[in-house]
Amino acid sequence: MLTQLVIAMRPKQWAKNVFLFAALVFDRQLMNASAVGRTLAGLVIFCLLASAVYLINDLSDIEADREHPNKRYRPLAAGTLSPRTAFIAVGAIFVITLPIAWMITPLFFGMCVLYVTTNLLYSKTLKHVPLLDVLLLSSFYVMRVGAGVTLINVERFSPWLYLFTTFIALYLGIGKRRAELVAVQNTNQQSRRVLAGYTLPFLDQLTIIVSTLTIITYSLYTFSAENLPDNYVMMLTIPLLIYGIFRYLYLVQVENSGESPTEVFYTDRPLQIAIALYGFAVLVIFYLF
């Protein structure tokens, strides 16, 4: 039962919460033990809250999931996890994490409540509204960045990073919808209701717009943010970002993957190498220059 509960909590999706570290890294506070400790605590809380949302969604969609070719294997839909156990787990997560979030800082508690509430609204109704669905998906990443900011005493965190996070998250969300639409057209897979509001040409146009804005926004950040080295060495990371964007576009439009961005990051080695090189370059530039 414990194994099935962990599976239902979808720990693979916890990788998205790495965005909480944006403030810590880009504000040059990785050497601040207190800031690192608070961010790690926030990471654990966000991971558990995300899992609680997944459990609530699976509980509310249990009958529909049983009719889905893939979702029917989820623990609740498959009957390997009882709804009672899932309810208890959700309650325990909220009872434990929310008071701790308040003790860390009331602002972080507010971000946690906003994140959970918006996720539940998205899952119940707003995920069926074209355009609004991908905008809300991107907002969840921005909320993670904002939550990370509330955990530390920010001194030099640039607002450009909020814009960059918005556009890169939109890029991932649009790619996800495109991959889902292709899968529906090529197979007998059950379609999301929201996909009726999209076409491949429309999603491709959105991809062009958002990927362009992502590159421009990040490029502007690399030479206009106040906390960067004066020699503009941060601009050297732009090619790594461009490669990552192009690689993901290749995976979505050529390999027809991307229904789960998290799975793409776990399985595509070139993309993993690009992300690792980017992270290494940022650390060298911020902490050695």
Which amino acid, one-letter code, is at 177? R
| Non-local CB neighbours of 105 within 8 Å, separated by 6+ positions | 150, 151
Our CA angle for 106, 147, 101, nearest 5°, is 40
| Non-local CB neighbours of 32 within 8 Å, separated by 6+ positions | 152
Residue 68 has pLDDT above 80, yes or no: no
Q: What is the mean pLDDT of the chain?
A: 90
CA–CA distance, 13 with 8 (Å, rounded to integer): 11
Q: What percent of the chain has pLDDT over 70?
A: 97
| Non-local CB neighbours of 188 within 8 Å, separated by 6+ positions | none
Residue 116 has pLDDT above 70, yes or no: yes
pTM value is 0.90
How is residue 183 written in tokens?
């899968």
How is residue 103 written in tokens?
């003790």
Q: Which residue's structure tokens are 């959105």?
A: 206
| Non-local CB neighbours of 59 within 8 Å, separated by 6+ positions | 76, 83, 86, 87, 90
- Whether residue 229 contacts residue 289, with contact meaning beta carbons closer than 8 Å, is answered with yes
| Non-local CB neighbours of 266 within 8 Å, separated by 6+ positions | 12, 15
> Which tops the pLDDT comparison, 80 or 278?
278
Q: Which residue's structure tokens are 């059950």?
A: 190
- Express each pLDDT in 236-284 by its tens digit: 999 999 999 999 999 999 988 877 888 889 999 999 999 999 999 999 9
- Nearest CA-CA partner of 54 in 20, 12, 97, 84: 12
Residue 228 has pLDDT above 90, yes or no: no
- Express each pLDDT in 151-195 by its tens digit: 998 888 888 999 999 999 999 999 999 988 888 777 665 567 788
Burial 74-96 (b: 16+ CB within 10 A, else e): bbbbbeebeeebbeebbeebeee
Length of the chain: 289
